[in-house]
Structure 1
Amino acid sequence: MLTIYGVTRSRASRIIWLCHELGLPFRQVPVIQAYRLPDPDAPDAPLNTHSPDFLKLSPAGAVPVIQDGDLVLSESLACTLHLARKYGQPFGPADAVEDALMLQWSFYAATAIEQDALTILFNHDKGQIQSGAAQASVAHAAERLIRPLRVLEDHIARHGHLVGGRFTVADLNLAEVLRYAQGYGQLMEQFPAVMAWLDDCQARPAFRKMWQERLAEPE
């Protein structure tokens, strides 16, 4: 059985969402991020990204990690792409062209969107822009996101989905990255097709199941 190492309040959420889409059973080992603990190295600390047993699997000390048979794989987007390719359509590629496009959009999410989207997430408090340096960071991140989101807006408006005219792992990967910025209406309202697409992605039963599991975990 597939094993996922990582709490759902982490990038493991991407893998868990895909497993629910696939109907793929898995075992989850809830490895928590060390920065969330007062003393991750304490003898009674829960399994975390500093724990020696976890570092044997992930020398980088980062979640998530999956174990799929003999394969131990880190990096959440690599994990979702692997599983989608292994289990195939409709979420995985039908051919080499779709495979390349799914890689393209997943890398686009990671390189053109994620860093600035995370800046917005970490500096935007419950819908209200914070003052000072946080406000400037959000404004600059939002400005940098306009160009990649214009690309996404045009593609979604014309095609409805990223690859193959259907929901695939590419949509899942990019939606999970863009989720970090979706609470910043001043940015997102400029891209109505993207907002509608993101709403549709998050209305899927598999996402909603993952999200309920995520909310059930301690913050």
Structure 2
Amino acid sequence: MLKIHGIPRSRAFRCIWAAEEAGLPYEVVPLGFAPGFKLERPLPINPNNKIPALEDGDLVLFESLAINLHLAGKAGAPLMPAGDDASRVMQWTLWTATEVEAPVMRWGYNTYLKPAAERDAAEAAAGKEALDARLAVLEGVLAKSPFLLGDTFSVADLNLACVLYAPWLNGYDLARFPKVKAWLDACLTRPAAKRARQQREG
């Protein structure tokens, strides 16, 4: 059985969702945070001492999006397609990590994650401006098809939607991006996503 180290109210949510989509048995090994976003205890299997980490037999992985690619690969198509679409999965996963996650976190830390007294409105606005630029790219792609690779949901959609989940849940203004909003709604209300969200949202 897969072991996902972390808690649902962390990036481990992404891996829980992927395991649910893949139909793979898993257990969550609880490991949460102390004040200041530090782990409550060390996680020796991850040299970065961060969550999540995955144990799949003898294989240990860290980095949530890499874990998701591994889980999707175990499930195969349509979650992890072959051929050129597999390359597109990598493209969108790397785009998520390099282009999207940083502005999501910049906006999030200064909108709802930090205590109110520590939030910086200028930083939140800068995060939103940067994220809006990426959402404009995504809006153009989704004008051509309902999912990133065409008509079928894949791990490319999962990896991007799980990073955009927090803005979606916490009132990000998507009025300029109706295609993105419809796509996020479709991704995050899938049965597997709802099961993962139930663990995170209680």
Q: TM-score, normalised by structure 2?
A: 0.90
* Contact 1:120–1:180 (Cα < 8 Å) also in 2: no
| Alignment equivalent of 2:75, drawn from 87, 110, 117 | 87
Change (3 A) 1:92 1:63: same
Counterpart check, 1:100 vs 2:87? yes
1:63-113 deviations in Å (ceiling 9; x for gaps): 0000111110000000000111122012112x2311110111011111111
> What does 1:36-185 correspond to in 2, within 5 Å?
48=39, 50-51=41-42, 54-55=43-44, 57-93=45-81, 95-125=82-112, 134-182=120-168, 183-185=170-172
Identity rate of aligned residues, in percent?
A: 39
Q: What is the RMSD computed on CA atoms of the aligned residues? A: 2.2
Correspondence for 1:205: 191
Instruction: State the Cα distance separating 1:35 from its structure 2 match.
Output: 3.9
2:27 counterpart of 1:27: yes
Secondary structure of the residue aligned to 2:77 is coil
Question: How many positions carry a matched residue from both structures?
Answer: 199
Deviation of 1:36 after TM superposition, in Å, equals 5.9
Query: Any stretches of 5+ residues in structure 1 without a counterpart?
Result: 41-47
Find the aligned partners of 1:153 and 1:101 in 2 and give their Cα distance.
17
3-state SS, counterpart of residue 153 of structure 1: helix
- Seen in structure 2, the aligned counterparts of structure 1 residues 29 and 162 have a Cα distance that, compared at 3 Å, is same
Listed one character per residue, the Cα deviations across residues 35-69 of structure 1 (whole Å, up to 9, x for unaligned) are: 468xx8xxxxxxx4643xx22x0121000000111
CA distance in 2, matches of 1:178, 1:73: 22
- 1:49–1:63 Cα contact (<8 Å) kept: no
What is the DSSP-based 3-state SS (H/G/I as helix, E as strand, rest coil) of the residue aligned with 1:72? strand
CA distance in 2, matches of 1:210, 1:180: 14
Determine the C-alpha separation between the residues in 2 that align with 1:65 and 1:138.
29
Give CA-to-partner distance per residue, 1:116-166, whole Å, 9 cap, x none: 11122222249xxx7996211111111112221111001111011012421
Aligned partner letter, 1:17: W
- What's the secondary structure of 1:3's corresponding residue? strand
